[in-house]
Chains A and B, each alone.
Chain A
Amino acid sequence: MQFPREEFLAPGHRGCAGCGASIVVRLALKAAGKDTIVTTPTGCLEVMTTPYPETAWKVPWIHVAFECAGAVASGISRAVKALKRKRGKFKDKKINVIAIGGDGGSADIGFQSLSGAMERGEDILYIMYDNEAYMNTGIQRSSETPLFAATTTSPAGKVWKGEDKPKKDMPMIMAAHGVPYVATACISYPEDFMRKVKKALSIEGPKFIHVLQPCTTGWGYPPDKTIEIGRLAVETGVFPLYEIEYGEFRLTYKPAKRKPVKEYIRMQKRFRHLTDEDIEKIQKYIDERCKLLGL
């Protein structure tokens, strides 16, 4: 495969060395192309790409607040519709309206606005880039923080073993809205992610892609391992890749043999407090989930 060479995210942004969020954006926009408007809620991505007077974005982009990307994207999408119909603007072009929000801005504080947009049937693609905690404010627990992961608000201590709840199942919640397309993806599988973005954009109505994005700072691993860890999340079944198209579930990647979760866990500082027994609990949880999905 030859990846499209056009870049819509410019270098010079302030992301950490080894940042996965910028890889999400590069891949998504290579798939979406030029005729795209992006909105990003408050978060790492917004902060690292737009300190005035410089912007890394080469597509029209807007940030409004933390909890309203779904509504902002709705407003953009409807404005494009109205201005096309009433004033002949945007010519005949199909304009992609994409929201790219973190797990906090999407699954927590932005959940209501996202749910509203999905339920209303807005013609938007919502990409949740999931790094499993509030990285922008310094690694606090979100509803996407996995079981036993230590964050600054779910620290490992004498009593606590880190986060006490598994991840909130966003793609399934989004699918329950009856939207035409839901998918999971991981930056370590760029062809798969880009194919899903393209497919989503070919469908009219609300679309949701949950993309796993390892975070060197928040997860505690050397920056060169961002892609390797993402790959392990998929190969261990911790983060299965699938899509739900018009209600039909389909695995898009099935590892020949799932690797032990331990391989994934042991690479990350956020899990370093765990005993083999604890990891066994995670393994059991993941096994059950994989069984449910046919993995």
Chain B
Amino acid sequence: MKKVITGTSAAAEAVRLCDVDVVAAYPITPQTSCVEKIAEFVANGELDAEYIKVESEHSAMAACIGASATGARTFTATASQGLALMHELLFIASGMRLPIVMLNTNRALSAPINIWCDHQDSISQRDTGWIQLYAENNQETLDLVIQAYKIAETVLLPVMVNIDGFILTHTVEPVEIPEEEKVRNFVGVYEPRHAYLDPDRPITQGPVGVPECYMETRKQIEEAMEEAKKVIDKVNKEFEKEFGRKYSLIETYNLENADTVLMAMGSVCGTIKHYINNYDNKVGLIKVRTYRPFPKEEIRKVLEDFDKVGILDKNISFGMNMGALAIDCLTILKDKTICNYIVGLGGRDITIQNIKEIVENLRRAKKDKTEWIGLNK
């Protein structure tokens, strides 16, 4: 059934469809409407879940870790300061290999306090061992949350589904909501293989990782990340077979006709596609949907015939004057010119005019550079 709903509602619908057991909820803009919607589902008996009204995001993640370690399918949602507050626990969730799924509604970080969208929050958690997916629209949000459970429970890593604050969270648009039975068959019931607290099988979780074992645990997470690429690919294909919508680690748009290539993540990809369709069909787009694990080979392959690329980043690595996606690409695209465009920080709108400016700038570019687009004079 198709319904006109917001991005946060789309995520909440996915949580209901996946029959999540334990939800930990703490309000933060622009995520709040997600946990509100889930509360409604639980209050009306549409989702049979334990709903923990925790007193902070730190406790939200801690409760999810406790619940997941007991063998429950868990969910929480956050943004910005909330995600930053969770920081240490994100490492613990991945270190314990718990398949927690979290919605992060991308929002800038203080100070100055800013409730609007950029990717600084999730990018700052890049190295916590979480799989990071970025959605372009509300349909993708729902679909990615469903797939996230299957991916997480297969590779035993937590998954963060990122959607742009306000731009998706507060925007309604048509979303196909799949049948409950179909989704439940697709994700199955979570049967923990490695970690669950049960008096009949007394295991110890979260011990002291002495130097003799710690490094191995890191290597295992890295291997799981590598494995995740294959698993995500497989789950994408299974999803397409079941629900008809096609997903992949990266998505390309109009590359076959392009003389100029942009690369980006999240909702701005829609604006770029609109630009391509209406203003300049010589532009192509690489949309990075799976940011961690980073699809190195896939990106390299689609860029084989191009000698430069314009990378849009809604985040900034201070002291490097580059965004994360561009920095990552430096290491895998050594033979290409990388032009980095810092855009949309703290809710600065990314307009068609901005895209045009980027494309023109990129066409002129002879060497690597970083430009801040849309700054006020």
Contact = CB atoms under 8 A, between A and B. Distances in A.
A67 B71 contact: no
B205 A63 contact: yes
Contacts of B60: 71
Contact of B55 (A63, A72, A79, A116): A116
A53 interface: yes
Interface stretch (A83-91, A126-134, A258-266): A83-91
Given A75-B24, A85-B48, A55 B204 contact: yes
Interface stretch (A32-40, A195-203, A217-225, A242-250): A32-40
B268 to A, nearest CB: 35
Nearest to A38: B197
Given A61-B202, A62-B66, A68-B62, A74 B71 contact: no
Highest count of chain A CB atoms <10 Å: which of B24, B52, B63, B213:
B63
B58 to A, nearest CB: 6
Contact of B199 (A46, A59, A63, A73): A59
Contacts of B207: 50-52, 55, 63
Interface string B37-61: 0000000000011101111101110
B208 A46 contact: yes
A115 B55 contact: yes
Interface residues of A, number: 49
B352 interface: no
B22 interface: yes
A52 B54 contact: no
A71 B58 contact: yes
A69 to B, nearest CB: 8
A197 to B, nearest CB: 16
Nearest to B49: A82
Nearest to A77: B66
A78 B22 contact: yes
Contacts of B212: 52
B206 A51 contact: no
A113 interface: yes
A253 interface: no
B210 A39 contact: no
B208 A52 contact: yes
A93 interface: yes
Contacts of A89: 71, 198
Contacts of A35: 199
Highest count of chain A CB atoms <10 Å: which of B53, B60, B205, B208:
B208
Contacts, number: 162
A124 to B, nearest CB: 10
A74 B208 contact: no
Contact of A90 (B68, B69, B198, B203): B198
Given A65-B92, A112-B55, A76 B199 contact: no
A60 B56 contact: no
Nearest to B198: A60
B21 interface: yes
B62 A71 contact: yes
B84 to A, nearest CB: 15
A58 interface: yes
B89 interface: yes
Nearest to A90: B198
Contact of A60 (B49, B65, B74, B201): B201
Contacts of A65: 62, 88-89, 92
B189 interface: yes
A87 B62 contact: no
A238 B201 CA distance: 41
B198 to A, nearest CB: 6
Contacts of B208: 46-47, 50-52
A81 interface: yes
A70 interface: yes
A168 interface: no
A120 interface: yes
Given A61-B202, A61-B204, A78-B67, A68 B58 contact: yes
B59 A112 contact: yes
10 contacts: A51-B210, A52-B207, A52-B213, A57-B202, A59-B202, A75-B62, A75-B68, A76-B67, A87-B189, A113-B56
